[in-house]
Structure 1
């Protein structure tokens, strides 16, 4: 715990005066505003194109395997090419994916779009590393939480707006309209990042020679015990998440009987809760330790999964989504390759700057290996046993991950710092 720490406003001013932080936050926010108009309804869009529940699980499993393959190359490129080039490449891949989504007229066509979407996470190690290298170490949790608060603030409105648009003009037409806007946003993001991001990777010839001599297997062997534990915990919890993540909107609309507008409103409730909690959660975790913060975050999210199975109406699901938003806001959710702000802060603690991108890529790959088949399994359980079965399985598996976290993860150097 740090004594005489500066106030939150002072810390936030210091974080956002850095141009790299400002540029990435701006472009990610623009992407979030338009992207989250339609992504909450992506599963419904694919079903409308003729997919079954198992088909849905299959193509999301293909997406997961692409994530598995792309993360280590992304980390290596981030360390060798530099952060900036990899970040821009990612946006270009997302642009191609969006165009395929727009022109698709059968669910099979969505597969290459999802592959490109997964390939676009090639920038996850680079983005996390760039931000970490632009921020003072003691403020990492707060910084990631603050950036997330800004980038995800539009989620309070976007899922609701997207649901209303879809209810008014239809699922296919509504999504395609939003995809056009998403194409434009990706083009703007490429331009802003190319002009304004400053590269943070500067290596001496000796450092370059050392990196080129080291092999991938050697890098994996040199991972610390805590990094392995983190990767395994994240893999187990991500498996639990992916069992249900493609089917929450389907369950809400088909089993409970909500409209897309109501589902969008629930998304707004969850996101508002997460945003209100995010910065205080980051500051608290910077004070009490990241491991404790992760535990506090995971418990309500795990309980929320079970809540779906006992929900009968909109009010019940509003409580469930609020609980999920609370846990997500504290910072240990698992969307994205590196997870929420607390996971990112923990990873930063255990990785040297010169190889941070590559190690983040390895961690993401281990996480993806463990969770890759979950979407297909979730679809099978949903369709062949019962819609509630994947939710029960997710709850039990995530509970196991929390137990592993409590018993095996040792405190980081930050947490034991006097």
Structure 2
């Protein structure tokens, strides 16, 4: 056996030390959440692959798909401002763990729905449980060092992509083996079990809000008017760039929601792509996100968030014709580009918001932002379904350009990126599970 040189011995510890330093933030709450996402996301994408076709099989139409999506977004919006207030008032942990179990139970309505109306009931129950979303966003931002937020949010995208990559393929196999309705019902049963497991994992979370008071349910109910006032007035307490970023989020969510209800219908029924081929195309999205997550995170941390955001919006506009005139290979390319756009957009936007918003306002800012983006999504869902059934099957796609182009101008002229110094996460190492 050949002996290693002293130089080689020195290089190995150096490389290992660098890797450890690069990913040292993956501990404590971030690690707990990462494990829960791995379980949740693997199951969640299974029924989502053929959701639109499932609704049609239960007696719905494109307009009904849009209506269910709109009602879901509306109820999610209603609970976001109270959710943000509660996260900043009573803490993040209890909301996240409790409502994860609630989402698990809501899957019963999806799995055993005899008609599309029961899907609506499930959507309402699930949406109310999303009151924990501001708490989740706040605990993530609290747990990431300021100079690792680009990488941190890219890691989140990577985890989601890794766990969801096999899901469309599994959905396609179940579709071939059992048919549309039975395979989707099995998918929702998997989701129920996965969220129960994730809820147990999330009981290991540590609170990041300092000395939260004991929960008073009477005071909590009476605090809703205060929550609404504070979640609106909070925009006067944060930099104007944060409000400009919020405006682009509203525009983007509204535009994406116009085509999302009808995407699988357009691809399968209008473009003639077989259902199993659609599962393969969808898988390419997650594969591209796996490959691109770490490089995008490093670019965002090294070169800033603003330029990657602008690039992501430009990529989205360039992708639209590939969907409208798609065949199997154009759709594969489109999904790879969408993967690049999603990784860049989600990581840069979330990291920039965390940079701009102080910890004490993150719950309220997230709640307020979620409220208005979900209202925009509710309107978009209704418009998308109606346009597809009554006006044009391609117009929902072309409208993306109308809404996304202003986002580029807003970010370029009105978002000023703060200078970020290396810092520790705002939660101590003792918060490790």
TM over 0.5: same fold?
A: yes
Match of 1:327 in 2: 341
Q: Structure 1 residues 315 and 9 mapped into 2: Cα distance closer, same or farther (>3 Å)?
A: same
Q: Distance in 2 between matches of 1:373 and 1:355?
A: 27
* Alpha-carbon offset, residue 12 of structure 1: 4.2
Match of 1:13 in 2: 23
Q: Distance in 2 between matches of 1:294 and 1:106?
A: 41
* Alpha-carbon offset, residue 302 of structure 1: 2.6
Match of 1:393 among 399, 418, 432: 399
Q: TM-score, normalised by structure 1?
A: 0.89
Match of 2:301 in 1: 286
Match of 1:377 in 2: 383
Measured against aligned partners, the alpha-carbon deviations of 1:131-188 in whole angstroms (never above 9, x if no partner) come to 2222211101101111221232122221122122113211110011122222221221
Contact 1:28 1:151 in 2 (8 A): yes
Match of 1:224 in 2: 239
Q: Structure 1: which 5+ residue stretches go unaligned?
A: 1-5, 206-211, 333-339
Match of 1:248 in 2: 263
Q: Distance in 1 between matches of 2:159 and 2:153?
A: 10
Contact 2:319 2:334 in 1 (8 A): yes
Measured against aligned partners, the alpha-carbon deviations of 1:206-228 in whole angstroms (never above 9, x if no partner) come to xxxxxx98842433443431122
Q: Distance in 2 between matches of 1:282 and 1:406?
A: 21
* Alpha-carbon offset, residue 8 of structure 1: 6.9
Secondary structure in structure 1 of the residue aligned to 2:50: helix
Q: Structure 2: which 5+ residue stretches go unaligned?
A: 1-15, 214-222, 424-433
Contact 2:38 2:160 in 1 (8 A): yes
Q: Structure 1 residues 290 and 390 mapped into 2: Cα distance closer, same or farther (>3 Å)?
A: same
1:353 maps to 2:359? yes
* Alpha-carbon offset, residue 23 of structure 1: 1.0
Q: Structure 1 residues 189 and 306 mapped into 2: Cα distance closer, same or farther (>3 Å)?
A: same
Match of 2:412 in 1: 406
Match of 1:76 in 2: 85
Q: Distance in 1 between matches of 2:21 and 2:88?
A: 28
Contact 1:236 1:371 in 2 (8 A): no
Q: Distance in 1 between matches of 2:107 and 2:400?
A: 30
Q: Distance in 2 between matches of 1:204 and 1:83?
A: 9
Match of 1:36 in 2: 45
Match of 1:335 in 2: none
Q: Distance in 1 between matches of 2:212 and 2:288?
A: 46
Q: Distance in 2 between matches of 1:184 and 1:371?
A: 28
* Alpha-carbon offset, residue 204 of structure 1: 7.8
CA RMSD of aligned residues (A): 2.2
Match of 2:67 in 1: 58
* Alpha-carbon offset, residue 371 of structure 1: 3.5
Q: Distance in 2 between matches of 1:177 and 1:363?
A: 34
Match of 1:198 in 2: 206
Contact 2:235 2:243 in 1 (8 A): no
Q: Distance in 1 between matches of 2:183 and 2:43?
A: 12
Compare 215-224 and 318-327 and name the one that shifted more.
215-224
Secondary structure in structure 2 of the residue aligned to 1:247: helix
Compare 119-128 and 259-268 and name the one that shifted more.
119-128
